[in-house]
A and B are shown apart, each in its own frame.
Chain A
Amino acid sequence: MSPELRDLIVQLCYLVASVLFVFSLKWMNSPQSARRGVMAGVWAMVLGVGGTLANPAVAVSSLPWIALAVMVGGIVGVPLSKVPLTAVPQRTALSHAFGGLAAGLVGTAKYYLWLHEGGEMLTGFRVFAITAEVILGFLTFTGSLMAAGKLQEFLPGRPITYRGQLIVNFLTLGGAIACAVALIINPQWSFLFPVLVILALAFGVMLIIPIGGADMPTVIALLNSYAGLSAVAMGFVLDNKLLIIAGALDGSSGLILSIIMCKAMNRSFSNVLFGAFGSVQESGGEDSGKTVKSANPAEAAEIMEQADTVVIVPGYGMAVAQAQHRVRELYDQLTKRGISVKFAIHPVAGRMPGHMNVLLAEADIPYDDLIEMDEINPEMPQVDVVLVLGANDVVNPAAKNNPKSPIHGMPIIEADRAKTVLAVKRSMKPGFAGIDNELYTLDKTLMVFGDAKAVVGEMAKTLSGDSGIH
């Protein structure tokens, strides 16, 4: 086969793969077509890898080593795909780390390879692309490892801050960018390259340590975007359009998700990245004198039994307690009685975008009953009972009423407008943001103290016992 023909085949493979990648994401627009989207993605990847192996630059003698590396990756990858769904946020963060590492290593290899060849290939544009790839890749690597460590609770989830942190962070990033600029001016100053790598690795760590658990949805989405952008930069380095297209799709996905997350918290990017949310302890002591009313799970179940409409607001607490299957039992008992049960999903509930939806889908709750915040809020005044399950800040009326509150302006699920509120909580300890929640002291609110899984299990048991008697 002539090299021209081989090259044509490679490019055609890349073209079809690019189209399939676009369809793969397009089919994610509805749960019915989404699995077709995964298949499109798999075929795109097969074509991309297959086309690359057909490239004349890939020697036959290297193929066994490449196959071995892919197999090792597969052996690690399969167990990583079987993690419990509550651990999906840390798995996602971990895979951003692998993606960043791969991009950083390829960029490093390309720089030294071209330097070794005499440096004619190291044009200003290519060095710009390489340094962008390496900075983004390595900061995504360490940053995602830190995020995964926080989510897995290997590391403390609370923000770690110190005096002068912002200045140190900016100096680190500035140093990395200065190295990049110097390398663009003179690619032969190779001593700067390891400095650039170390600064990028350090910046990834420093960027994530001041960020708290509740901001993880935004951070994970942002790291997703960086991983995509590093693939784009690699595409510029290697003159490869497939990498640019797939990376751009990934980069825009991460960008849109992080914008959605920021809007759902009424915060800006810079505030998430540099704000160290949760370290600001607003004095909320003034209403701590108010009394709360509490009920036991059986009483709460009876209240729900009398209702026509029940809305359940799940939060991270439900994920931590692994309560989703008990929630399904409760859902079954209530719907059996003709009670309408809906779930109100706040965009930032949980530790990553869409976290609650996946957990409830795992418990076989039909997705027609998972309702977005904006759709459910107008219906709230007609709702008989709201059951707040491990959610806190996303239902805190202070976001609307108290201009002094650190979460003021954040859109919330307006549980306080329902006729009765049942809030399942471990204790009266304030939520993640460390802010008192006046929802709990309202007259129409009953607190049900205990572990979400145990409480909801008891509620379901009470209801099933009832149906046995009648």
Chain B
Amino acid sequence: MNMLLASAPATTSAANLYIPLIFVFVLATFIGLDVIRNVSRLLHTPLMSLTNAISAVVIVGAILVAGPEVSGDHPLWITVLGLVAICAASINIVSGFLITNRMLKMFKSRETEKKP
């Protein structure tokens, strides 16, 4: 009985950690499917470059890996992996947002055409 009581909080905390994350994932996917379905077909190429830039949010994880001070607990090579990942993600952030904006500037309707 004692053992059961003692082990109970440990299992709840594990569930407490993962289950909310799964909730977030499932709900975000539903929002994503709905929002993307309404994206104009004209804009599918800019949409891809925009989601490219957005998925470069992995830079957050890369910063958390490269961030801690190098020490016995945090070897240098781990930091180097993190820095390479930051570099790769920033390429996507910079080029993704810039090229999306560049492409979107080109889309003009007949009305906007007339007034230069």
Contacts and interface: CB of A to CB of B under 8 A. Distances in A.
Contact of A354 (B44, B57, B59, B91): B44
B55 A92 contact: no
Contact of B86 (A73, A224, A237): A73
B75 to A, nearest CB: 7
* Chain A binding surface, main DSSP class: helix
Contacts of B92: 77, 95, 98-99, 102
Interface string A40-73: 0110110011001101011101100110111011
Contacts of A112: 78
Given A45-B57, A102-B85, A361-B107, A62 B42 contact: no
Interface in B13-68: 14, 17-18, 21, 24-25, 28-29, 31-33, 35-68
A159 to B, nearest CB: 23
Contact of B32 (A95, A221, A251): A251
Interface residues on B, range: 35 or more
A246 B31 contact: no
B57 A95 contact: no
A69 B83 contact: yes
A96 interface: yes
B47 to A, nearest CB: 5
Interface residues on A, range: 35 or more
Given A58-B63, A106-B81, A106-B85, A257 B44 contact: yes
Given A25-B32, A57-B64, A368-B110, A247 B86 contact: no
A346 to B, nearest CB: 11
A437 interface: no
A293 interface: no
A253 interface: yes
Contacts of B47: 25, 28, 253, 257, 353-354
Interface core residue of B68, B83, B85 (most chain A CB under 10 Å): B85
A25 B103 contact: no
B58 A234 contact: yes
A74 B48 CA distance: 19
Contact of B51 (A29, A91, A228, A237): A228
B89 A59 contact: no
A358 interface: yes
A429 to B, nearest CB: 28
B48 to A, nearest CB: 5
A228 B55 contact: yes
Given A28-B50, A239-B21, A347 B41 contact: yes
A95 B115 CA distance: 36
A57 B60 CA distance: 12
Contacts of B95: 76-78, 80-81, 91, 95
Nearest to A247: B55
Interface stretch (A30-38, A171-179, A302-310, A445-453): A30-38
Nearest to A36: B104
A357 B44 contact: yes
Given A28-B47, A112-B78, A81 B21 contact: no
A345 B79 CA distance: 48
Interface in B80-114: 81-110, 112-113
B57 A246 contact: yes
A45 B90 CA distance: 10
A52 B45 CA distance: 30
Interface string A220-235: 1100100110111011
A355 interface: yes
Nearest to A25: B35
A357 B61 contact: no
Given A29-B40, A31-B104, A103-B58, A22 B83 contact: no
A21 B56 CA distance: 12
Nearest to A368: B110
B21 A235 contact: yes
Contacts of B98: 77-78, 81-82
Contacts of A273: none
A394 B98 CA distance: 32
A24 B50 contact: yes
B74 A113 contact: yes
B42 A31 contact: yes
A62 B68 contact: yes
A366 B39 CA distance: 18
Contacts of A99: 52, 55-56, 58, 88-89, 92
Contacts of B42: 31, 354, 357, 361, 367, 370
13 contacts: A34-B40, A38-B104, A57-B68, A73-B87, A77-B95, A88-B49, A98-B91, A102-B62, A224-B52, A234-B58, A239-B17, A247-B57, A355-B45
Interface of B: 14, 17-18, 21, 24-25, 28-29, 31-33, 35-69, 73-75, 78-79, 81-110, 112-113
Instruction: In the A-B complex, list the 10 residue pairs whose CB atoms are closest, starting with the nearest.
Output: A73-B90, A354-B44, A77-B94, A252-B32, A58-B67, A81-B98, A248-B28, A353-B44, A354-B45, A77-B95
